[in-house]
Structure formats: structure tokens, C-alpha cells
Amino acid sequence: MRLELLSILNVERAARRACVLVTDIKSGEQRLVKGAEIAADPLAEQLDSALRMAKSATIEVAGRQVFLTVQVPPVRIVAIGAVHITQALAPMARLAGFDLTIIDPRTAFATPERFPDCALIAEWPQNVLPDFAPDRYTAIACFTHDPKIDDPALEAALSAECFYVGALGSRKTHGKRVERLKEKGFSELQIARIRAPIGLDIGAVSPQEIAVSVLSEIILALRKKPLRDSGAAA
Amino acid sequence: MLAADDDILARAEDWRKAGKGVAIATVTETWGSAPRPVGSHLVIDDEGHFLGSVSGGCVEGEVVTEAMDVIADGKARTLEFGVQDETAWRAGLSCGGRIRVYVEKVV
């Protein structure tokens, strides 16, 4: 591997950008394809699929063995609201391998006692999210039910390329939310990216079950739908 | 897997920039219950220092030895191992797996 390629690979990873190193095993020939360049690549379909599954793999191209070193940033979940559902979601997300951050400005909710060993930020989302820089490997799920807290996070999520945006609330609550976001200038296409009511419809009742349905919906969005498309819809 | 591989490739870059001879070994294929997934890396310097893992311990020694040759002659090569001998079993690794490892020099 050329040192130059290795350097770019490391820069891309540090910047949380996906890329694929394509190696012809026999000739040793190598090239690096950045996430943004994949659509225009001759191997677009294979690269896209490898990226979505986040799996390195050997493929055959015109009778030649080609190895794809897939580099995908760790997926982050941002939960807005240090509520009961989030308490259940935290250990589940950890087990499933996601990097979870919980944001809630209400210090009575956001306590280390309620959320042991969690990345917990007792701040308003609009103060935290700019530095956090949500990207296409970030999911944002809003659970507070309070527009003062949820809306700024949703606005940040819709302005970024988050692969998943979800908000708790009934259809009626969501209807009002849609109106508020429209007034803020968000398009219908953007607003349609919000999954509401949140979670896969598995008939979840308890907070723990709702956490399962939300985590499942996040995994579905991550694996089944090309990330590129969710970006294009932004 | 990815979080752990972070430091490994960054370290390979550091080593090379510090003027060391460096090789990167990558698991390219696995069969059966191989202990480390495809894409796992081991990086090796010209003094035999290494970081990362391609098998969870049982073939690292051989990969490091081969990597020294790769650093010396600059030719990439593919190695194949069966992770099924008695040593592997004793180490508590999954039996019956096989892995293919691509070793290349950083130039």
C-alpha cells in the first residue's frame, strides 16, 4: 500500500467519512474510493452494498480477485430526552454496538444515577449539536414530547444528513410538529424524513418495548436503505 | 471491530513516517468459524513489533515472520491458514476455521 493511500484512509476515518480501499490481490494494484465518489465508480453497486453492510469482502471482477477494505465510521445515536425509554435504550444500544449520547437540558432528568456509564449531556440540543456535527452515520431520536427541547434537535437533524430521524408523539402531536417545522421553512420532503410515530409498529407498550422498536427502526434505516438515498432526500 | 482498527492503521502510518519498514496484513477471506472477521488488520514493523490481530493469536507468529520477508523484498503475498490444530484448540479458539491473509508492504 502506498503511504499516501494509507494517509488518506486515516484522514477519512478521523473525519468520520466512509471509504473503500480496492485492492487487486494478484497485481497488488490499489485505489481508494471515497464515499462521495462511489456513485461514479465502475464498481458502484458492489461498493455501495459493501458500505451499507459495513463489511470488507473479496469480490470477483472480470475473473480477478479484488479485495474491498471497507471503512465506515461507528454509528452514533443521539437520544434527546433523558426519559424512561432512554433508560431502556441505553443498555440495548450499547449491546448492539452503537455509540449513544443522551441530551436533555432538564437536570432533574439527566442525572448519572439514572444513566450510569452513559454519555449524558445536560444541555439544550441547540447548544450541543453544532459541535457534535451530526452526519450521515448519526441517528437522532427525540423522546421529550416537549417542542422546546425536541424541535431544535429535529431542525439540526433535518439540516444534516442523518440516516435516521425519529420523534415520539401521536399523529396529532406530529401534525402540530409538522406545522411548526413548515413555519421554520423546512420543505415537506425534509419533514417527511421524520419517523413519527417513532419506532417499528410491533405493538410496543412499555418503555422497554418502545426502545426495542426504535432500535429496530434505526437498524432497518441503517442496513436496508442506501445511506446515499437518505442523504439525497435532505 | 472498526474502533479497534482505528489505532492500528494510524500506527502503521506513524511507523512508516518514522522511517521504519512496515507491512499490513489483512484477513481477506474466512471459512468456517474463523476467530477474526474479514477486514481485520495486523501491522508489523521491520523489527517484528506488531499491533492488531488476524486470528486471535494462533497464526500471528507466522504472519509476522512472513511480513518480515514482505518488508524485505516488497512483494505482497497471500497466506492461508487452517485454524484447527491442537494449539488453536488449546487456546480456546474456534476449530475448523480457515483464513486467508493478504500481506503487503507500505511503500
Q: pLDDT per residue over A31-47, tens digit each?
A: 999 998 999 999 999 99
**Residues in chain B within 8 Å Cβ distance of A71:** 2
- Range list of β-strands (E), chain A: 19-24, 30-34, 57-61, 64-71, 76-80, 99-103, 119-121, 138-142, 164-167, 194-195
- The answer on pLDDT for B5 being more than 70 is no
Q: How far apart are CA A143 and CA A141, in angstroms?
A: 7
A67 CB neighbours in chain B (<8 A) are 26, 28, 102
Q: Give the rounded distance of the alpha carbon of B95 from its chain centre.
A: 19
Q: Contact B102/A23, CB-based, under 8 Å?
A: yes
- Residue B4 in this model has a pLDDT that exceeds 70: no
Tell me what percent of the residues of chain A surpass a pLDDT of 70.
96
CB contact under 8 A, A3 and B104: no
Q: Starting from the edge strand earliest in sequence, which strands make up the sheet with B22-31, in order?
A: B50-52, B41-45, B22-31, B97-105, B77-83
Is the pLDDT confidence value at B36 over 90?
Answer: no
Q: Tens of pLDDT along A66-91?
A: 999 999 999 999 999 999 999 999 99
For residues A154 and A167, the answer to whether their CB atoms sit within 8 Å is yes
Confidence (pLDDT) at B6: 64
Q: Residue B103 pairs with which residues in a beta bridge? A: B25, B77
Average pLDDT over residues A92-107: 96
Structural domain that includes position B77: 2-105
Domains of chain A: 3-71 (no CATH), 76-232 (3.40.50.720)
Across A155-180, average pLDDT: 95
With an 8 Å Cβ cutoff, is B9 touching chain A?
yes
Q: How far apart are CA A100 and CA A214, in angstroms?
A: 13
Asked if B11 and B78 touch (Cβ cutoff 8 Å), the reply is no
Whole-angstrom distance, CA of residue B29 vs CA of residue B31: 7
> In terms of DSSP bridges, do strands A164-167 and A138-142 run parallel, antiparallel, or are they unpaired?
parallel
Q: What is the pLDDT of residue A92?
A: 97
Interface test with B, best of A21, A27, A56, A66 (most B CBs within 10 A): A56
- Rounded to an integer, what distance in angstroms lies between the CA atom of residue A100 and that of residue A120? 9
ipTM score assigned to the predicted complex? 0.82
Confidence of residue B31 (pLDDT cuts 50, 70, 90): confident
